[in-house]
Amino acid sequence: MGSSKLHQNDANCVWVDGPIIVGAGPSGLATSACLTQQGVPSLILEKSDCLASLWQLRTYDRLKLHLPKQFCELPLLGFPHNFPKYPNKHQFISYLESYAGHFSIQPRFNQAVQSADYDHILGFWRVKTQDSEYISRWLITATGENAEPVIPDIPGINKFNGSVVHTSSYKSGSEFKNQRVLVIGCGNSGMEVSLDLCRYNAIPHMAVRNTVHVLPREMFGFSTFGIAMALIKWFPLWLVDKFLLLVANFILGNTDQVGLRRPKTGPIELKNVTGKTPVLDVGALSQIKSGEIKVMGGVKEITGHGAKFMDGQEKEIDSIILATGYKSNVPTWLKGCDFFNKDGMPKTPFPNGWKAEKGLYTVGFTRRGLLGTASDAVKIARDIARQWRPNDSCSNSHVILLKET
């Protein structure tokens, strides 16, 4: 969308009338749709061959949205009415594909951005992929917080004789039937993978190094997240956290007794400050209480056939699953920009981290899920629309000049 292609000296150079958006996940799609509504064309560059590659290629089969669908809608087009309260992975992907179709969004697939630099002399962004250079006044980073798997450096892991996979490659517990599986990490992915393994008669051992907040997914028939969002409008954050923990302890019991120590900071405050999401329990806790999921301490060392733990225990293990999360990849391709920190996150905190300088924007880096994405997308589209002049598009001579410099 919004691009015209020129060739010079056997090199592809593409001037994009509107913004270049890097990433065709929910963040990129939402921003493109909001721009379309404002009458601004855009071009999405996507390194894979499909929309929402994280959801399509790197999620497990049983995944469902952790929050009710009304908190996961993208701007301007909601979920179909017949979708359940918590849509599954395939329903969410179909929603995103319908969303792209509705707004005539056509990303350029198989375009892996290798570098993006701001040309200070000409005042344009130059975005290079493996076979083209794209040029625009605006650049929107929509690769998000979950672009690359985090692979921790665990002593001895290279000596392990069994399989080691990250949750990005995990599909189903059927591949681990009757195995003793070490799951490293106790966030939502670690908990849900452990639960899935139980369904296939595997024996999950979940390594828990840090403290973690576990909350029921629902309280009194309502979404815990929905209750928190409603209360936060009327009461101070510390009081809402206190209420959530009081009810969580009533419904789930004291999680410290099963090896899941709670942080001293409340769940919402912790999420706001560090981005660490509380675990919304969908059944793993009852399996922990019954002993089907074994809670272990932090891993000290991996051996050829097992693991040694910080508390001195040692277990024989058949396979290891790394539920160690994801990270931003912005530092690997965005050059000469100090708007992002070394972890690839905007230095300016939410709600003001969506806009940098020189036509650079970010979407999907709020640590507030799809609600944060929707908020960013609307703001970015409005801001660019105020600057947009259709007759401002670059002439051919400008593009040739760029290729000659």
pLDDT, one tens digit per residue, over 216-257 is: 999 989 999 999 999 999 999 999 999 999 999 999 999 999
pLDDT over 80 (residue 55): yes
pLDDT, one tens digit per residue, over 106-152 is: 999 999 999 999 999 989 999 999 989 999 999 999 998 888 999 99
pLDDT over 50 (residue 399): no
Beta carbons within 10 angstroms of residue 19's beta carbon: 28
8 A C-beta contact, residue 172 and residue 181: no
> For the domain with range 150-322, which CATH number is right: 3.40.50.1980, 3.90.260.10, 3.50.50.60, 3.60.70.12?
3.50.50.60
**Mean pLDDT of all residues in the chain?**
90
pLDDT, one tens digit per residue, over 192-205 is: 999 999 999 999 99
Quote the percentage of the chain above a pLDDT of 90.
80
CATH topology assigned to domain 12-147+328-402: FAD/NAD(P)-binding domain (3.50.50)
Q: Which residue ranges does the chain devote to CATH 3.50.50.60?
A: 12-147+328-402, 150-322
Which band of pLDDT confidence, cut at 50, 70 and 90, is reported for residue 154? very high
Q: What angle do CA 212, 217, 220 make, to 5 degrees?
A: 125
8 A C-beta contact, residue 249 and residue 258: no
8 A C-beta contact, residue 22 and residue 140: yes
Q: Record the tokens describing residue 401, joined without a space.
A: 């000049």
Mean pLDDT of the 297-308 span: 94
pLDDT over 80 (residue 398): no
8 A C-beta contact, residue 241 and residue 266: yes
Please give the pLDDT value at position 397: 34
Q: Record the tokens describing residue 199, joined without a space.
A: 């369904």
Please give the pLDDT value at position 12: 81
Which band of pLDDT confidence, cut at 50, 70 and 90, is reported for residue 11? low
Mean pLDDT of the 383-400 span: 61
8 A C-beta contact, residue 248 and residue 214: yes
Whole-angstrom Cα distance, residue 5 to residue 262? 55
pLDDT over 80 (residue 404): no
